[in-house]
């Protein structure tokens, strides 16, 4: 480990070296990472609660007392699990936590052990300086975010809601990273919304039989037809307030004139083309989506099965869940039936207020030349679970990133890595934000 390394970099490297790969279906073990986090919190005088939802599936919650009595509490959450990584495809071992030329490598460097480490570093600084936030800060480090939260945030919300007493707002992953939209133009998207999860199971049934004989009721053919229609479908543009505000803010920051008329009447391709490189910030959230991801059918090449099954990763915008369901009905037709395999609601929190204003101020104090813009996350986070307790949820894990760094490619990708300088800047931003949130 290089000398003079920041606390955040050390914590992040340590956490990366703890393999918390989540393979889905309950196959994960976060407890060693949870024990590490709990130990760091205890070292600075907090009283962490370590809760195991199943053997090896552990969560940690701690509360930092604020200085303003009676003020509502703020939840700050991050997950401890990561998606699996194949060492043979990486330049360094994904669980080495190696720091090379000022860059931290490993699974979780971006998603999201870096942010967990930043929170540990912030509370460590407070313990050393005597600093105290304005209101109570509840810290939650969760299991199972990379699957369906059944062993993590959902379990905490259902079984231990008292740990979050008084929390009216929550801050979690994604958002507040540097997006280089052009020469000298640095955007910082702060998330106030996220699309809902609508994972769908398709089932086609028909006549089983010999593979050598004609079969007009072949379920594999029926499933394939339905899947092809879903995959080729072009969903219409639907602009929720957060995304419309993001488009307008990006256009203003880039000096790009938007097409006349209602933006929602444009074709998706035309709307995105008008935004240039910054279109990447809204490309995944200007409409619902449904992407086929899995197919299961048959057991022998010369046997036509009686049933074929497929899975679709659907994502839905707030207020457009009914449109999603109606479209799936139309696309599957008589070839297949469909049902939700897993479903979580979309979220949208207020764009303006004390909390988002403080986020923007903390970012701009770190990078006065940056521009803060609204953001809607295309996927889902643990915020969906905490929103069930009535919290307004935001995505704010600040990183000040150098030009040329492909932030999006790091999520679940090979050679995941983060500059240590970006991590340290994130600690400074989070420190300023939480002290006055």
- DSSP type of residue 334: T
Strand 57-64 with 137-142, pairing? antiparallel
Burial class (CB in 10 A: 0-12, 13-18, 19+), 31: buried
Active site residue 321: no
3-state helix, strand, coil in the chain (%, to 5): 35, 25, 40
Please count the other Cβ atoms lying within 10 Å of the Cβ belonging to residue 24. 12
Residue 53 phi, psi dihedral angles, 5° rounding = -85, -20
Cα dihedral value 83, 88, 93, 94, nearest 10 = -10
Give every CB contact of residue 288 below 8 A, 6+ residues apart in sequence.
Answer: 195, 235, 238, 314, 315, 316, 317, 320, 323, 324, 327
Please count the other Cβ atoms lying within 10 Å of the Cβ belonging to residue 321. 17
Indicate which residue of 14, 30, 98, 145 is catalytic: 145
With vertex at residue 381, the alpha carbon angle to CA 33 and CA 370, rounded to the nearest 5 degrees, is 100
With vertex at residue 401, the alpha carbon angle to CA 397 and CA 404, rounded to the nearest 5 degrees, is 135
Measured distance CA(127)–CA(119) in Å, rounded: 13
**Token couple for 364:** 């701009």
Q: What's the farthest any 2 CA atoms get from each other in the chain?
A: 79
List Cβ<8 Å contacts ≥24 apart for 129-134. 131/435, 132/65, 132/66, 132/67, 132/435, 133/64, 133/66, 133/67, 133/434, 133/435, 133/436, 133/437, 134/66, 134/67, 134/68, 134/71, 134/435, 134/436, 134/437
Alpha-carbon distances of 132 from 64, 75, 136, 259, rounded to whole Å: 8, 15, 9, 48
Active site residue 81: yes
Measured distance CA(164)–CA(238) in Å, rounded: 34
- DSSP type of residue 104: E
Indicate which residue of 14, 81, 169, 173 is catalytic: 81
Alpha-carbon distances of 164 from 1, 134, 292, rounded to whole Å: 37, 17, 37
Catalytic residues: 81, 145
């Amino acid at each position: 480990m290089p000398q003079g390394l920041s606390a955040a970099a050390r914590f992040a490297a340590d956490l990366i070296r703890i393999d918390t790969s989540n393979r889905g279906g309950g196959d994960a073990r976060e407890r060693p990472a949870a024990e590490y986090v709990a130990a760091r919190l205890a070292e600075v005088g907090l009283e962490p609660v370590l809760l195991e939802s199943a053997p090896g599936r552990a969560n940690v919650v701690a509360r930092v007392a604020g200085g303003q009595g009676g003020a509502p509490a703020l939840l700050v959450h991050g997950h401890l699990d990561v998606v699996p990584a194949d060492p043979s495809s990486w330049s360094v071992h994904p669980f080495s936590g190696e720091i090379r030329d000022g860059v931290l490598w490993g699974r979780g460097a971006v998603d999201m052990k870096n942010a967990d480490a930043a929170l540990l570093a912030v509370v460590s600084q407070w313990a050393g300086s005597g600093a105290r936030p304005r209101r109570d800060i509840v810290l939650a480090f969760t299991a199972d975010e990379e699957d369906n939260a059944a062993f993590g945030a959902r379990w905490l919300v259902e079984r231990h809601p008292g740990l979050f007493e008084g929390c009216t707002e929550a801050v979690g992953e994604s958002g507040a990273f540097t997006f280089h939209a052009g020469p000298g133009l640095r955007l910082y998207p702060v998330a106030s919304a996220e699309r809902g999860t609508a994972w769908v199971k398709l089932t086609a049934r028909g006549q089983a039989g010999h593979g050598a004989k004609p079969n007009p009721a072949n379920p594999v053919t029926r499933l394939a037809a339905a899947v092809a229609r879903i995959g080729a479908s072009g969903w219409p543009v639907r602009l929720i307030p957060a995304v419309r505000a993001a488009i307008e803010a990006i256009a203003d920051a880039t000096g790009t004139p938007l097409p006349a008329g209602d933006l929602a009447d444009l074709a998706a391709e035309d709307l995105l083309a008008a935004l240039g490189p910054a279109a990447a910030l809204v490309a995944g959230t200007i409409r619902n989506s449904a992407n086929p991801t899995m197919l299961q059918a048959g057991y022998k090449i010369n046997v036509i099965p009686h049933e074929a099954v497929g899975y679709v990763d659907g994502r839905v915008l707030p207020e457009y869940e009914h449109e999603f369901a109606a479209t799936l009905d139309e696309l599957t037709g008589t070839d297949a039936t469909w049902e939700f395999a897993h479903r979580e609601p979309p979220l949208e929190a207020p764009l303006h207020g004390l909390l988002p204003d403080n986020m923007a101020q903390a970012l701009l104090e770190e990078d006065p030349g940056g521009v803060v813009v609204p953001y809607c996350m295309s996927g889902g986070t643990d915020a969906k679970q905490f929103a069930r307790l009535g919290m307004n949820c935001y995505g704010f894990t600040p990183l000040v990133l150098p030009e040329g760094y492909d932030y999006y490619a790091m999520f679940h990708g090979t050679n995941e890595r983060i500059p240590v300088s970006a991590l340290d800047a994130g600690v400074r931003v989070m420190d300023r934000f939480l002290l006055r949130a």
